[in-house]
Amino acid sequence: KPTFVQTFAALDNKPTSEHPAGITTFLRKAPLAIGAVQPFTVWVVCTRNALGAFDAPIGATTNRWFVRFNNTSTTIDIHAGIGTASGAFASTTGVRYGIIAVFNGGSSKIRVNGASVFAGATNIGANPLTDFTLGDETGGLGPFHGNVAECGAGAGDLTADVAALAQLEAWIEAQY
């Protein structure tokens, strides 16, 4: 099962939830009293400890959505019910990734470590933000093998607010 790690070196000695290789359980937040319809933005700060084919550090179980590393096609993907948007991205172990994903149907976006890796027209679907899971997603394609230090969500498209986006990315960089 996922475990609490008080200090994790690859994430600036901050506390994390650790999701070991071979473990298929995850942490889940109870369904939100008031879900967020699209557009919504999620962010996660994590590091990978093993490279599975599909590793989702954050997702949902009620209305399926996820952010995942895809080693099969060397991309980072987001999905919200219909299609999967993929941004070219090669990840490795032991590196801190600050991921910001905007779920907005055919106008979705993915940013990693302050850089845009996808801003296209793939229709990912319209599933709302109703709950969180850390360490897996309901598709069962592969549990996350790594550590998660931060995650969060907000209504709207954070990338549309240049100052707020810069503030979040600067905060992630300063903290980790």
- Decide the pairing of beta strands 40-48 and 27-29: unpaired
Provide mean pLDDT across the span 146-169: 95
Which residue did the predictor score with more confidence, 26 or 109?
A: 109
Select the more confidently predicted residue: 32 or 144: 144
- Asked whether the CA dihedral 5, 69, 83, 38 is positive or negative, the reply is positive
Predicted confidence at residue 140, as pLDDT, reads 58
Give the model confidence (pLDDT) of 33-80 as tens digits: 667 899 999 999 999 998 888 888 988 876 788 899 998 899 999 999
Convert the pLDDT of each residue in 139-149 to its tens digit.
556 688 899 99
Residue type, 173: E
Both tokens of residue 79? 């999905």
User: Model-level pTM greater than 0.85?
Assistant: yes
pLDDT on residue 136: 73
Cα gap 145→53, rounded to integer Å = 11
Residue 172 clears pLDDT 80, i.e. is over it: yes
**% of the chain at pLDDT higher than 90:** 63
Sign of CA dihedral 120, 65, 172, 71: negative
Residue 42 φ then ψ, to 5°: -120, 150
71-110 pLDDT per residue, tens: 889 999 999 988 999 999 999 999 999 999 999 999 999 9
- What is the average pLDDT across 116-140? 84
In order of 44, 55, 110, 123, 128, the CA distances from 86 in angstroms are 17, 14, 9, 11, 19
